[in-house]
Amino acid sequence: MDNCIFCKIAAGQIPATIVYEDEDLIAFNDIRPAAPVHILIIPRKHFDTLSSVGVEHEGLLGKMLTLASQLAEKAGCAPVLQADGSLTGGYKTLINCGPDGGQEVYHLHMHVIGGPKPWR
């Protein structure tokens, strides 16, 4: 896609703070973070929305979720079991789909959001 900002980031045409990349995915810090940790994970291949992927892309979507967990842990957001049995920490993942779903950039992407609350 010629005008897709995320395609341009994946191609190295627009700078980003990249925290992970491989042949399928690239992850970078959001330029307008909603929390202390706010990472975007995108496939290198362009898909407009989550609704654009098919059954043949299940592996890619699974890889995105697995990476989300790994990046959250690396950023210090993984849930931690305390001595008293309670959990602290944590993060959330989010994929907006379409205008009513809050999607602003039409390239499939997953938000990984975490860090100490309150978030704005």
**Integer Cα distance of 89 and 100 in angstroms:** 30
| Both tokens assigned to 22 | 């491989």
The residue whose two tokens read 């008293």 is 84
Q: Cα dist. 112→1, 3, 52, 54, 83 in Å?
A: 24, 24, 21, 22, 27
**How many other CB atoms are found less than 10 A from the CB of residue 15?**
9
Distance of CA 17 to the CA centre of its chain: 13
Q: Would you name the residues annotated as active-site residues?
A: 109
